[in-house]
């Protein structure tokens, strides 16, 4: 508990991160069809950081995310949880909004609470709070089909946040959105992370997105996925649109793009 | 629906909409007039081909007998459809929850479906009371589309939503009621619409197979019986009622589908465009 709170105090100084939250220890994952998605994956998720898993398509980064969430079991190795955290304190945002089309925005956001057996009355203020966080307070009674792609993704994020998770897992959530919407959601996600002080593990194949969002980037090799390189993005907080055009941002992107090219060239 | 399209864009669909009703009505009217002319000009006797006016006259004169028969056939159809819905949905849920049950039973559902009901009916009439045999025949043909569509719907649930339910530790029942059933609803309703027509066909076929063996009160029985008596106008009148019953069943089930899905499903949205 003290480790967690000290981590939170440190957060304002940007690059510093807290103690370990979850650790991959020599994790391998093979599927029945013989594909080895992950092999000897070794890394630690630290409390309160914004960690990106960056790599080419099919490098097993989504598989790693599913393993953290407990949606799949490692074939080898272990995932260790620290400080009483576990897969039940997780929010998950998929690449698609993955909303239930037959019900309203508010009901979609309430779903995790409903599944955890929290009564409607107790859930209502938390649903309202989560919708307000993503700026959709006025859309609680809308159906998903009435929303734009970006708004659907906001609903999906609100749904993941409604349980106040300690760890938020995001699997290329903005990959299908247009760039203008993606930039806006990047900004808003960054702001949410600062406000909520939760830990985020963000899977992406975009160097630019990962540099903009992350405090730390783990670059993965093509399949079978392993950690090829680690980068810490040291910039003052809060980040905003100015960061996107700053020389530091450009320098980081160049450095990581070059590293990615080397990783891709090896295989 | 929310925003009104400009007038020039609205005019075209409106005109097409009018044509959609107008054209079939015109074709129907032309066919009836042609039929009437053939009968009049050819002086065809009513026991060979009655004219449309005589059919309507017979419908009115024999309404007592025919309406009673209509109620019998409709009751059989409705009961068969209800039984098919209950059986089909329950079995689909069973299939979805146990691969073993699905593998064991699905082939038999297919066999039941592909064997023509007209060939099964005489056997059923040997073992069952005529009324029950007719009901079972109607059930057999109505059951399969509901089973296969609902099973398909339950199997088509978005796997990310499944993951989400697993992530939050949802049990089987919660997953079924909050995810499986709503997701399968459009598929089920599509199956129900097919099953409605098939239940009527099954009932009619079985009534004909039952023939004089049955106590004989359904509309199809009236057709057979009137045929024996060369009461051709009444055959036409009974046939007309069967057609109207089929149209009514289709219309009711289409309305049900629309009402259940209009808020969210693509199939209902297309009509609004």
Q: Are A3 and A75 within one domain?
A: yes
> Which of A103, A115, A144 comes nearest B169 by C-beta?
A115
- Using pLDDT thresholds of 50, 70 and 90, give the confidence band for residue B212: low
**Total structural domains within chain B:** 2
Q: Are B125 and B253 within one domain?
A: yes
**A144: nearest CA in chain B?**
B264
| Residue A212 CB burial class (10 angstroms; 0-12, 13-18, ≥19) | buried
Report the candidate in A156, A35, A59, A60 with the shortest Cα–Cα distance to residue B167. Answer: A156
* Whether pLDDT at B213 is above 60: no
- Average pLDDT of the segment spanning B135-139: 94
- Model pLDDT, residue B34: 96
- What CATH number does residue B194 fall under? 1.10.3720.10
**Total structural domains within chain A:** 2
Report the candidate in A31, A34, A40 with the shortest Cα–Cα distance to residue A228. Answer: A40
Segment B32-72, tens digit of pLDDT? 999 999 999 999 999 999 999 999 999 999 999 999 999 99
Report yes or no: A175 at the B interface, CB cutoff 8 Å: no
Instruction: Kindly list the residues from chain A whose CB atom is less than 8 angstroms away from the CB atom of residue B163.
Output: 66, 69, 71, 92, 94
How many angstroms separate the CA of residue A107 from the nearest CA in chain B? 11
Q: Are A25 and A152 within one domain?
A: no
Structural domain boundaries enclosing A26: 1-10+19-85+166-237
- Average pLDDT of the segment spanning A181-190: 92
Mean pLDDT of chain A: 87
Q: Are B32 and B126 within one domain?
A: no
How many angstroms separate the CA of residue A131 from the nearest CA in chain B? 19
**A112: nearest CA in chain B?**
B168
Q: Are A199 and A228 within one domain?
A: yes
- Model pLDDT, residue A87: 63
Q: Are B15 and B114 within one domain?
A: no
Pairing of strands A20-30, A76-81: antiparallel
Least-confidence region, from B6-20, B85-99, B147-161, B191-205: B6-20
Report yes or no: B272 at the A interface, CB cutoff 8 Å: no
Q: Are A39 and A66 within one domain?
A: yes
**B160: nearest CA in chain A?**
A98
Give contacts of A 137-166 with B, CB under 8 A. Answer: 143-145, 163
In a domain, A242, yes or no: no
> Which of A70, A92, A115 comes nearest B174 by C-beta?
A115
- What CATH number does residue A201 fall under? 3.40.50.300
Segment A204-238, tens digit of pLDDT? 999 999 999 999 999 998 888 889 899 998 877 77
Q: Using the beta-carbon criterion (under 8 Å), do B265 and A102 form an inter-chain contact?
A: yes
- Model pLDDT, residue B154: 94
Q: Are B21 and B5 within one domain?
A: yes
Other beta carbons within 10 angstroms of residue A147's beta carbon come to 18
- Average pLDDT of the segment spanning B225-240: 93
- Average pLDDT of the segment spanning A187-213: 92
Number of A–B residue contacts, CB under 8 Å: 55
Q: Are B132 and B206 within one domain?
A: yes
Q: Are A155 and A28 within one domain?
A: no
In a domain, A198, yes or no: yes
Segment A8-63, tens digit of pLDDT? 333 343 444 578 889 999 999 998 888 888 988 899 999 999 999 998 887 888 99
Percent of chain B with pLDDT strictly greater than 70:
92
Place of tokens 């024999």: B62
* Whether pLDDT at A267 is above 50: no
Least-confidence region, from A5-19, A22-36, A86-100, B168-182: A5-19
Q: Are A76 and A125 within one domain?
A: no
């Amino acid at each position: 508990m003290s480790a967690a709170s000290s981590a939170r105090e440190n957060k304002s100084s940007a690059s510093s991160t807290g103690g370990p939250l979850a650790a991959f220890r020599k994790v391998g994952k093979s599927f029945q069809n013989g594909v080895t998605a992950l092999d000897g994956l070794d890394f630690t998720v630290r409390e309160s950081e914004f960690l990106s898993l960056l790599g080419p398509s099919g490098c097993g980064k989504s598989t790693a995310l599913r393993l953290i969430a407990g949606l799949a079991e490692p074939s080898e190795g272990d995932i260790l949880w620290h400080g009483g955290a576990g897969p039940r304190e997780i929010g998950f945002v998929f690449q698609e909004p993955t909303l239930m089309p037959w019900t309203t925005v508010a009901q979609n956001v309430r779903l995790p609470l409903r599944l955890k057996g929290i009564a409607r009355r107790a859930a209502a203020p938390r649903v309202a709070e989560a919708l307000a966080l993503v700026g959709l307070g006025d859309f609680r009674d809308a159906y998903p089909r009435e929303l734009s792609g970006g708004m659907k993704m906001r609903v999906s994020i609100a749904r993941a946040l409604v349980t106040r998770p300690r760890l938020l897992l995001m699997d290329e959530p903005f990959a299908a959105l247009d760039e203008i919407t993606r930039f806006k959601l990047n900004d808003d996600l960054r702001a949410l992370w600062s406000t909520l002080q939760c830990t985020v593990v963000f899977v992406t194949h975009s160097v630019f997105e990962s540099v903009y969002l992350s405090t730390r980037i783990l670059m993965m090799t093509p399949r079978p996925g392993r950690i090829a390189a680690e980068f810490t993005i040291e910039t003052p907080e809060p980040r905003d649109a100015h960061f996107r055009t700053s020389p530091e941002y450009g320098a980081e992107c160049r450095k990581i793009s070059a590293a990615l090219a080397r990783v891709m060239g090896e295989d | 629906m929310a925003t009104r399209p400009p007038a020039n864009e609205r005019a075209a669909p409106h005109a097409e909409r009018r044509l959609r009703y107008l054209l079939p009505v015109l074709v129907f009217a032309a066919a009836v007039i042609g039929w009437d002319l053939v009968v009049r000009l050819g002086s065809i006797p009513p026991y060979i081909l009655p004219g449309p006016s005589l059919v309507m006259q017979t419908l009115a004169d024999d309404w007592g007998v025919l309406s009673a028969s209509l109620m019998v056939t409709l009751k059989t159809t409705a009961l068969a459809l209800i039984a098919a819905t209950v059986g089909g949905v329950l079995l689909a849920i069973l299939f979805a929850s146990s691969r073993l049950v699905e593998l064991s039973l699905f082939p038999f559902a297919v066999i039941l479906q592909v064997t023509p009901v007209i060939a099964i009916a005489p056997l059923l009439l040997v073992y069952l009371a005529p009324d029950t045999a007719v009901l079972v025949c109607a059930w057999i043909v109505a059951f399969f589309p509901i089973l296969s569509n609902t099973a398909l719907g339950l199997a088509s649930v978005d796997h990310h939503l499944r993951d989400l339910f697993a992530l939050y530790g949802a049990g089987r029942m919660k997953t079924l009621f909050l995810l499986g059933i709503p997701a399968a609803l459009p598929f089920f309703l599509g199956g129900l619409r097919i099953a409605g027509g098939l239940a009527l066909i099954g009932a009619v076929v079985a009534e004909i197979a039952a023939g004089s063996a049955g106590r004989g009160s359904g509309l199809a029985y009236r057709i057979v019986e009137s045929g024996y008596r060369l009461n051709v106008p009444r055959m036409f009148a009974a046939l007309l009622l069967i057609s109207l019953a089929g149209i009514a069943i289709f219309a009711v089930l289409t309305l049900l589908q629309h009402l259940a899905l209009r808020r969210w499903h693509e199939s209902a949205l297309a009509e609004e465009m």
